[in-house]
Amino acid sequence: MSSMKLGVNIDHVAVLREARRVNDPDILNALNVACANGADQITIHLREDRRHIQDIDAKNIMLHSQLPVNLECSINRDILNIVSGLRPHRATLVPEKREEVTTEGGLDVFTYEDEIAYAIEQLHDSIIPVSLFVDPTMEAMEKSKELGAEMVELHTGLFSNLFAMLNSSLPHSNHSVKELELPRYELASRLEKSLEDIQTAATHAKKLGLEVAAGHGLNYHNVSYMMDIEEITELNIGQSIIARSVFCGLADAVREMKRLTVR
Ligand code: PXP
């Protein structure tokens, strides 16, 4: 038996609030409901463009959260200064592009190794452990270790997209993933390969002494696959939980995800 931590990403509550620019829904209510219904950690992303979480939210969440806060951020110097001051329980470095809808792909730990090393050093100076959000490759695990991170979060976006293209109506909708419009046998084989890559990367990361988390696109239908990978000890999940909460409330949505992620 190994434990699995559920990090509930509440950014999407702030997305809804920002659509109206009023304090409704209140992010602190979301924090309290997630804390009271099975979350093990609260995850938020303070983006450079502040499209959802604002500085004041990050500050209030740090003040009021009864659970550890995993603060995602880019390697932008101004953001790092803010994060260092906030002293979250962990910082997760993620890539950020202004034009993206969500975080697409992991950090490029090779092209930006100097900047990432500097960011890790700055965060460590403020006694903040660091996780790197990376694609599940052996090379990325080794580089993450070399750069001094304590943890990696494996980007499960490809797995999640393949799963959705194979097992949902996504291919027939406007949101079809164009590059994955492939025959079913090809999708099935790529899905299997994506899982093998996650397993191999997780095993390697653990061997290197890194803690292993995973996230992006995980939902009530595909999360069981992550539960089979015993090296993964934490999942960070946002969109699917907040989406379900529209229909059954945040408390039930968090509770149900927690039920599915207990080992
Ligand atoms: N982990 C990281 C590092 C992320 O950037 C995100 C997306 O904000 C998530 C997990 C959660 O992804 P999703 O909202 O698709 O569950």
State whether residue 252 is helix, strand or coil: helix
pLDDT in tens, 67-104: 999 999 999 999 999 999 999 999 999 999 766 666 67
Distance CA 81, CA 119 (A): 10
Q: b/e for 236-262, b at 16 or more Cβ within 10 A?
A: bbbbbbbebbeeeebeebbbbbbebbe
Beta bridge partners of 8: 42, 237
- Quote the CA–CA distance of 163 and 217 in Å, as a whole number: 10
Domain ranges of the chain: 5-260
DSSP 3: -
* Integer Cα distance of 113 and 103 in angstroms: 19
Q: How many angstroms separate the alpha carbon of residue 47 from the centre of ligand 1? A: 12
Residue of the CA atom closest to atom 1 of ligand 1: 215
Q: Which atom of ligand 1 is nearest to the CA of 11?
A: 8
Kindly state the tokens that stand for 91: 């910082």
Q: Which residues line ligand 1 (CB under 6 A)?
A: 9, 11, 45, 72, 92, 94, 102-103, 133, 153, 215-218, 236-240
Annotation says 72 is catalytic: yes
Q: How confident is the model at residue 2 (pLDDT cuts 50, 70, 90)?
A: confident
Tell me whether residue 136 is exposed, middle or buried, using C-beta atoms within 10 angstroms of its C-beta: 0 to 12, 13 to 18, 19 or more: buried
**Surface-to-core class of residue 44, CB atoms within 10 Å of its CB (0-12 exposed, 13-18 middle, 19+ buried):** buried
Give the pLDDT confidence of 95-154 residue by residue, as tens digits: 997 666 666 789 999 999 999 999 999 999 999 999 999 999 999 999 999 999 999 999
Please tell me the CATH code under which domain 5-260 is placed.
3.20.20.70
Q: What distance in Å separates the CA atoms of residue 32 and residue 29, rounded to the nearest whole number?
A: 5
